[in-house]
Amino acid sequence: MSETTEKTYKRSHEPVFWGLFGAGGMLTAFLTPVMILITGILIPLGIINSQNFSYEKIHGFATTWYGAVIVLVLVALPLWHTLHRIFHALHDIGINRGRDWQQVICYGFAFAASIFVFTLLLQMF
């Protein structure tokens, strides 16, 4: 067999980021408009009573374990989505210098913000 000419293949780690990107994209597409509708339109217009979203209520929600998970996911995943998109858009508009650094900065930011929200939620308990 002529397997001698077989070249070496390098596996990409993109599946990790693509997975986060996809999950974040779903959330962004389905839930962000709802959140904007509630906090940006319905509450200011008085259609939803703002007392339902008072500090105490939200704090109470964020300090239950499921509430904390929901808040973390709602903040972190769309961030991963956004920064993945920005990382690829930089390539698309022809900014090709320091792709490694671009990657570190983009995903590093998403990672740092996720950890920040995580610790913030933890210390509220």
d(CA 100, CA 63): 38
Residues that bind other proteins (CB under 8 A): 9-16, 18-19, 88, 91-92, 94
Alpha-carbon span 85 to 18, nearest angstrom: 10
Q: Smaller CB distance to other proteins: residue 57 or 91?
A: 91
Taking the complex as a whole, how short is the minimal distance between the CB of residue 106 and other proteins, in angstroms? 14
> In this structure, what token pair is assigned to residue 45?
């217009």
- Pick 4 or 51: Cβ nearer other proteins: 4
Identify which of 73, 103, 111, 75 has the alpha carbon closest to the alpha carbon of residue 87: 103
Closest approach of Cβ 98 to other proteins, in Å?
16
Closest to other proteins by CB, 59 or 91: 91
The distance of closest approach from Cβ of residue 9 to other proteins in the complex, given in angstroms and rounded to an integer, is 4
**Alpha-carbon torsion (24, 19, 105, 124), positive or negative:** positive
